[in-house]
Homo-oligomer: A and B are copies of this chain.
Amino acid sequence: MENKDNLKIILDDSLNLSLNQIRDLLSKMTSSEIAHALESSPPRQRDLLFSLLKTEEEGDVLFELGEEIQQDLISNISNEELSEAVKELELDEIVDILQNLPEERMKNILSNMSMVDRKRIEMGLTFPENTAGGLLNTDVISVRPSNSIKEVISYLRDLGKLPDNTDKIFVVNDQNEYLGELSISEIITSNPSMQVREIMKTEISPIYADLDDKEVATLFERNDLISSSVINEYGKLIGRITIDDVVDVIREDADQNLLGMAGVAEDTFAPPGRAAKSRVFWLSMNLVTAFIAASTINIFQDVIDKIVYLAILMPIVASMGGVAATQTLTIVLRGLTLEQINSSNIRWLFKRELAVSILNGIVLSILVGLITYLWFQDLTIALLIACALVINLISSVIAGILVPLILRKFKQDPAIGGSVVVTTVTDVVGFFSFLGLATIYLV
């Protein structure tokens, strides 16, 4: 774990080190450790660390970084340096870095490359970012069904070094159409005189280049894959996807789910201006919805004027509904993300959530009623707040289930800002039910 210590030293003590000492530490770290150090550093220190990297290390490190930090750092280096830095990267890595550049700059970088590289990268750039094509590498090894295992082994030996994460090679016909796959461990354990067609596997379907990257992750997980072939719409083998890139997709997806619910979208050490900008949208939305909730209270100002206790108790009903709605919303969002929810089980889920809200509603409304009675010695108010709470918990289920489903229907990400919308519903219903009941029974 020697490397881990280097990372720790960089993170904890870099202020006390000379530039040469830092440079020395960086040279002993892997590119993903360096990327982690950059992502864990405030902007100024991050720029310093990056400037101390050798150009040939910059490419690998840039690829490992999140999009925002990656593009920040790229904007500080020259086209020549960037061309040099990405030269040795794999196709999917170069594409990942180039696809976010301004048009002009991308063209400039491409024009510095060899014809072969340029064609390959331009092919890679044609795939949308969040598809299998965006994860594609062209470092595939392919053989023919008529080859013998002996020929395959000698071909591999001639290659010298296999690309990283090569657990299998692919079998194609002379039109380069995908036929099947052959695992390296099968090659090594099979009789050398056998033919490829005798031992190749054909059960696992190749992945189409336009498949959504989250579905690629699901396929990898379902079938415990290390790598998979990728074909185009004509069935031709155009590359492969490896597990390391799929793990990145899974991490990013989880990260976005977590951040999206709170309405933030920024790296941990984003500068204040950018962080403020990323958050102000949902804060403003919440401002609008908070005024909607306030208007609800406004309707009832006469009753509050008469009974000031109502103003003290009304936030309790609203707040309980908000927590319950967020719980339902979270369960629905998780179910949608894991593709567990569909038309056949949504009714069951809805009934279950209703049952949960009634069960918890009974327990909590007894508690709320009791505490309220003990506090204000007023049985009517205690009964009213208990009823309002049950009503609001039921409304929280309806909001928690419907809001994400409706957002998804309109092709919006249901995870983003859903909680601001559902808590508005529970605020409004909470104030309305409590103050409304009070108007009926107390005035």
Contact = CB atoms under 8 A, between A and B. Distances in A.
A159 B224 contact: no
A189 B156 contact: yes
A40 B336 CA distance: 10
Contacts of A222: 30, 32-33, 36
B189 A188 contact: no
B255 A188 contact: no
Instruction: State the main secondary structure of chain A at its contact with B.
Output: helix
Interface residues of A, number: 128
A123 interface: no
A323 B263 contact: yes
6 contacts: A13-B344, A30-B222, A40-B341, A272-B355, A290-B315, A293-B319
Contact of A276 (B41, B251, B282, B356): B356
A191 to B, nearest CB: 8
Nearest to A29: B222
Contact of A312 (B186, B272, B294): B294
A276 to B, nearest CB: 4
Contacts of A280: 360, 363-364
A442 B68 CA distance: 47
Nearest to A12: B344
A271 B359 CA distance: 12
Interface stretch (A72-80, A101-109, A231-239, A297-305): A297-305
B340 A39 contact: yes
A55 interface: no
Contact of A205 (B1, B349, B359): B1
A42 B348 contact: yes
Interface in A254-309: 254-255, 257-259, 261-264, 266, 268-273, 275-276, 279-280, 282-284, 286-287, 289-291, 293-294, 297-298, 301, 304-305, 308-309
